[in-house]
Structure 1
Amino acid sequence: MGKKKVIYLDPDDRKWTMEDLGLSWESIGNLLEDKKEIEGIFLMKNGKIRNIVELPNHCKICLDPLDYNDEHDSIFCPSCDEWRESSCSDPTCEYCLARPAKPSNCK
């Protein structure tokens, strides 16, 4: 099925026609022929559009960019103040052993 174009004209108190404005359905179609339409799924937060390619680098909860902590070798979300990688299962791991519950508690 093709793309749809929906144009709403308010019928209440309308005292003009498209012809009065010098328009026709054909002229509107011609105006849009040269324009490329963008299709897809976009997420928006705080007025910024997030492309689906960027999502792995953003928090799945708040959609803000993720950050990396060198000291504990882990990714976290500064906005949520939560780690986005769980600790490893090695009880002697130097990175996970002293990792605080919240990233904001790091040195």
Structure 2
Amino acid sequence: MGKKKVFYLDPDEREWTLKDLGLNWEAIERLGTERKGIEGTFLVDKGRIRRWSELTSNCKVCLGSLAYNDEHDSIYCPTCDEWRESSCNDPNCEYCLARPTKPSQCM
């Protein structure tokens, strides 16, 4: 047989995560490096084929696009409503000091 390509099809109304499927990013990355027959790993999202390298700006839980909050200098996932960067350890940090628990609570 010829070389293979793996496509992950992402439905519009997905209600599951990689964890629900028993997968994680490390397992998916290994698919591309351990198997010699796989030419590439791709995600089909909203009718568009996305390369693995493009997914660095996506949430690792829901695969949605990440956003940046300038007020708190942090990246977050609007879909999951969770910060994707933890607060720093500086008790006087102007960005982290008043950061709410959820990004949606920002004014």
* Shorter-chain TM-score tier: 0.5 to 0.7
How many pairs are equivalent?
73
Q: Could you tell me which residue of structure 2 aligns to residue 3 of structure 1? A: 2
Q: Could you tell me which residue of structure 2 aligns to residue 61 of structure 1? A: 61
Quickly say closer, same or farther: Cα 1:43–1:92, change in 2 above 3 A. same
Q: Could you tell me which residue of structure 2 aligns to residue 19 of structure 1? A: none
Q: Could you tell me which residue of structure 1 aligns to residue 103 of structure 2? A: 103
- Point out the structure with the larger helix share: 2
TM-score by length of 1: 0.61
Supply the distance in 1 between the matched residues of 2:65 and 2:45 (Cα, whole angstroms).
Answer: 12
Counterparts of 1:78-93 in structure 2, within 5 Å, are 78-93=78-93
Gaps of 5+ in 1: 6-38
8 A contact 1:45–1:63 mirrored in 2:
no
DSSP-derived class of the 1:53 partner: helix
* Matched AA of 2:2: K
TM-score by length of 2: 0.61
* Matched AA of 2:98: A
Supply the distance in 1 between the matched residues of 2:100 and 2:86 (Cα, whole angstroms).
Answer: 12
- Point out the structure with the larger strand share: 2
Q: Deviation per CA, 1:27-57: give whole Å up to 9, x if none.
A: xxxxxxxxxxxx4111234544331111110
Higher Cα Rg, which structure: 1
Q: Which has the higher contact order (CA 8 A, sep 6+)?
A: 2
Supply the distance in 2 between the matched residues of 1:78 and 1:44 (Cα, whole angstroms).
Answer: 20
Quote the RMSD (CA, aligned, Å).
Answer: 2.0
* Matched AA of 2:52: I
Percent identity among equivalent residues?
A: 67
Q: Could you tell me which residue of structure 2 aligns to residue 36 of structure 1? A: none
Supply the distance in 2 between the matched residues of 1:43 and 1:61 (Cα, whole angstroms).
Answer: 14
Kindly state the Cα deviation for residue 100 of structure 1 after the two structures are TM-superposed.
0.3
Q: Could you tell me which residue of structure 1 aligns to residue 42 of structure 2? A: 42
